[in-house]
């Protein structure tokens, strides 16, 4: 079927022009990369999924935005020293340090009641410290010193009371009563791809780096 004849008195339509003279669609607008030397803008929940792609470099791994292993170990060491000093002062009246240094006397095999009281009091104080600090600010004093913060692994939000209590109970109480469990709990982050300790996995939390200008999910709590 032949196309209808073109009227010489009318202006030519786009289909009547040669291909190189026809109007072209606007070019696809891509998001320009940030200027050289500047970082991409911060965003919330970077550990819950990959960050925005700017078209260069490898994709981020599962540990993107998370605290380094050394930062976590350093924060844990600071907290252990501080909590240990407080517990020592509080439990001093309950302990027989002569017996602790010299060992059981004669055929004595039972642990004195004061030792049991000191152990449970120390575990309770440690639990309160990690629970309340984590729930209120997402940071213990050690984490404040190292610039890291506990958040929910699912969406990067502030942890709930249950999550804070669960990770504190596993870390301070269970780990304090059984040294082997406490050691394995902390050392787990050395090979975990998301740098989680066992108490993080129990509570569903991760520890992020606090980047200046990023949103603090605990603000106003």
* Distance (Å) of CA 195 to CA 16, 126, 213, 218: 65, 23, 23, 22
Q: pTM, whole model, 2 decimals?
A: 0.65
pLDDT per residue, tens digit, the chain (221 aa), is: 555 555 555 555 656 666 556 666 655 555 566 565 555 555 444 444 445 554 555 555 676 789 999 999 999 999 999 998 998 888 777 665 555 555 555 555 545 556 667 778 888 999 999 999 999 999 999 999 999 999 999 889 999 999 999 999 998 877 767 777 888 888 899 999 999 999 999 999 999 999 888 889 999 88
The two tokens of residue 45 are 């929940």
The two tokens of residue 180 are 């082997």
**How far apart (Å, rounded) are the C-alpha atoms in residues 16 and 163?**
70
The two tokens of residue 64 are 């993107």
């Amino acid at each position: 079927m032949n196309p209808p004849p073109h009227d010489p008195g009318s202006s030519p339509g786009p289909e009547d022009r040669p291909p190189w003279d026809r109007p072209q669609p606007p070019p696809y607008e891509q998001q320009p990369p940030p200027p050289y030397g500047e970082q991409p803008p911060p965003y919330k929940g970077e550990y819950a999924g990959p960050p925005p792609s700017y078209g260069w470099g490898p994709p981020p791994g599962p540990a993107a935005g998370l605290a380094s292993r050394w930062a976590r170990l350093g924060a844990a060491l600071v907290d252990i020293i501080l909590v240990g000093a407080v517990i020592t002062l509080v439990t001093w009246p309950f302990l027989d340090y002569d017996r602790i240094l010299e060992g059981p006397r004669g055929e004595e095999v039972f642990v004195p009641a004061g030792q049991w009281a000191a152990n449970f009091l120390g575990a309770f104080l440690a639990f309160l410290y990690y629970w309340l600090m984590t729930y209120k600010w997402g940071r213990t004093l050690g984490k404040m010193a190292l610039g890291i913060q506990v958040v929910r692994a699912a969406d990067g939000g502030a942890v709930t009371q249950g999550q804070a209590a669960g990770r504190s109970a596993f870390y301070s109480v269970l780990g304090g009563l059984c040294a082997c469990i406490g050691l394995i709990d902390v050392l787990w982050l050395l090979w975990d791809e998301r740098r989680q300790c066992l108490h993080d996995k129990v509570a569903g939390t991760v520890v992020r780096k606090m980047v200046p200008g990023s949103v603090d999910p605990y603000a106003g709590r």
